[in-house]
C-alpha cells in the first residue's frame, strides 16, 4: 500500500516542488540575518534533505513515468514550475554561503545551476513555443510564470557572492550582471501580461492561487541580486561605472515589491474571507512563503547598501510573518500527505 502511495505521488509530482527548497532556504537566511542562528541552521540541513529527496523523486519520475514528465514540459500551467530547480539550487547555495559560511559548496551549486539554466530555460520555452495545443491568455498564464525571472535573479545573486572563488571573477560578475538585467526585462514583459489577465479578464477564487505572490517575490529577489552586485562587484570596472544605475534600479525593484503587498493581501482576503474558498494545501503554496522570506532579506540588504538604517524596522517584524508562514505551510504539507496516504488503500479497493 505504501508503494502505491509513493508511486502515485511521484507520478503526479508537480514540477514546482523545488519552491519548497526556495522557501526554506530564504527563510533560513532571513532568520540568520535577524539573529535566529540555531533555527537557521536547522533549516539549512532540513533543506539539504528536501533538495536531495526532490532530486531522487524527480529522477525516478523521469525514468519511471516519462510520459507524465514529458506532458508537463508542454503544459502551460505546469512547465514553468521546472524553473524552481534553478532557483532552488541557487537559493540553497546562498544559504550555504550565508548560514554555514561554506562558499565551496555554494560555488559547486552555482556551477550546477549555470549548467541547468540553458537546458531548462530554453528547453521549456522551446516546448511551449512549438506546442500545437495552446490555451488563451486567460488559461495559459498566471503569477507562476515569474519563476523564470526568479531563476535568472537566483543565478545573478549567487554568482555575485561566489565570484571571488574563480581565477577570473570579472567574468562571473559579468554573468551575474547580465542575468540580473535580463531578469528585469523578463519581469517587465511577463508582469504586463499577468496584470492584463488579472484586471481585464474574469477571475474566480479558484484561479487566484498562491503563485500570484511571485508578482512580489520576483522583484524582491531582483532587489537582493542588485544589492549583491553592489557589494561584491563594485571593484570590477564596468560595474563601478554602472553603480548609480544599479542602485537606482535596485531601489525601483524594492519599491515595486513593496507596492504589491497591499494588493496581494487584499486579494487573499477576498478569496478566503469573502468568497469562502476552502483553505487546502497545494505545492504552489510555497510560492507564497518564498516572497515573504525574500522581502525580509532584500530589505535588510537594501538598507545596508543605501545606508538606510531606519528601513531595518520592516524586517524586524516581517521575519516573524515569514517564519509563521513557513511553519504553517509545512504543517499543511505533512497533514495533506498523511490524509492522502490514508486514502490510497480505499481507492485501491474500489
As to burial, measured by CB atoms within 10 angstroms (0-12 exposed, 13-18 middle, 19+ buried), residue 191 is: buried
Other Cβ atoms less than 10 A from the Cβ of 143: the count is: 28
Q: Which pairs with CB-CB distance under 8 Å and at least 24 residues apart come from 250-253? A: 250/222, 250/223, 250/226, 250/302, 250/305, 251/302, 251/306, 253/184, 253/219, 253/220, 253/222, 253/223, 253/226
CB atoms within 10 A of CB 126: 11
Residue 262: predicted pLDDT: 93
Q: Where are the alpha helices (DSSP H) in the chain?
A: 2-11, 19-33, 37-64, 66-73, 83-99, 103-130, 137-140, 147-162, 169-200, 214-233, 237-269, 286-305, 313-348
pLDDT < 70 positions in the chain:
1-3, 5, 341-350
Per-position DSSP letters for 147-182, written without gaps between them: HHHHHHHHHHHHHHHHGGGSS-HHHHHHHHHHHHHH
Q: Are 46 and 20 in contact (CB under 8 A)?
A: no
| Torsion sign, CA atoms 324, 330, 334, 337 | positive
The x, y and z cell numbers of residue 323, run together, are 517564519
Q: What are phi and psi of 46, to 5 degrees?
A: -65, -40
Per-residue confidence (pLDDT) for residue 2, from 0 to 100: 52
Q: What CA–CA distance (Å, rounded) separates 227 from 306?
A: 9
* C-alpha cell of residue 222: 531582483
pLDDT at 146: 94
- 16 Cβ neighbours under 8 A, 6+ residues apart: 78, 80, 81, 84, 144, 147, 211, 283, 284, 286, 287
Domains and CATH numbers, the chain: 2-348 (1.50.10.150)
Cell of 163: 565570484
At residue 348, the pLDDT reads 46
Give the tens place of pLDDT for each residue, 174-192.
999 999 999 999 999 999 9
Q: What is the pLDDT of residue 1?
A: 46
Spatial separation of the C-alpha atoms in residues 75 and 206, rounded to whole Å: 19
* Predicted pLDDT at 341: 67
pTM over 0.85: yes
Residue 350, pLDDT score: 42
Amino acid at each position: 500500500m505504501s508503494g502505491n502511495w509513493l508511486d502515485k505521488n511521484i507520478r503526479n509530482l508537480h514540477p514546482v516542488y523545488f519552491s519548497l527548497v526556495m522557501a526554506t532556504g530564504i527563510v533560513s537566511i532571513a532568520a540568520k540575518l535577524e539573529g535566529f542562528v540555531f533555527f537557521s541552521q536547522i533549516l539549512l540541513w532540513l533543506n539539504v534533505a528536501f533538495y536531495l529527496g526532490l532530486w531522487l523523486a524527480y529522477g525516478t519520475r523521469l525514468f519511471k513515468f516519462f510520459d507524465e514528465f514529458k506532458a508537463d514540459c508542454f503544459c502551460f500551467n505546469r512547465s514553468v514550475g521546472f524553473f524552481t530547480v534553478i532557483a532552488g539550487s541557487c537559493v540553497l547555495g546562498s544559504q550555504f554561503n550565508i548560514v554555514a559560511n561554506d562558499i565551496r559548496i555554494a560555488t559547486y551549486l552555482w556551477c550546477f545551476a549555470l549548467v541547468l539554466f540553458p537546458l531548462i530555460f530554453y528547453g521549456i520555452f522551446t516546448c511551449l513555443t512549438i506546442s500545437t495545443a495552446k490555451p488563451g491568455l486567460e488559461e495559459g498564464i498566471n503569477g507562476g510564470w515569474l519563476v523564470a525571472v526568479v531563476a535568472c535573479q537566483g543565478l545573478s545573486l549567487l554568482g555575485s557572492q561566489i565570484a571571488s572563488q574563480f581565477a577570473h571573477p570579472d567574468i562571473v560578475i559579468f554573468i551575474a550582471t547580465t542575468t540580473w538585467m535580463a531578469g528585469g526585462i523578463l519581469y517587465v514583459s511577463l508582469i504586463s501580461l499577468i496584470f492584463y489577465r488579472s484586471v481585464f479578464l474574469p477571475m474566480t477564487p479558484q484561479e487566484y492561487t498562491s503563485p500570484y505572490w511571485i508578482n512580489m517575490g520576483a522583484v524582491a529577489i531582483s532587489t537582493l541580486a542588485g544589492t549583491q552586485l553592489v557589494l561584491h562587484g563594485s571593484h570590477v570596472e564596468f560595474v563601478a561605472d554602472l553603480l548609480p544605475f544599479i542602485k537606482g534600479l535596485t531601489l525601483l525593484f524594492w519599491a515595486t515589491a513593496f507596492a504589491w503587498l497591499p494588493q496581494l493581501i487584499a486579494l487573499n482576503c477576498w478569496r478566503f474571507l469573502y468568497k469562502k474558498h476552502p483553505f487546502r494545501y497545494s505545492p504552489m503554496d510555497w510560492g507564497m512563503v518564498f516572497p515573504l522570506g525574500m522581502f525580509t532579506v532584500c530589505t535588510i540588504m537594501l538598507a545596508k547598501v543605501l545606508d538606510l538604517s531606519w528601513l531595518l524596522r520592516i524586517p524586524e517584524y516581517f521575519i516573524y510573518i515569514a517564519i509563521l508562514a513557513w511553519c504553517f505551510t509545512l504543517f499543511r504539507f505533512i497533514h495533506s500527505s498523511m490524509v492522502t496516504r490514508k486514502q490510497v488503500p480505499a481507492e485501491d479497493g474500489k
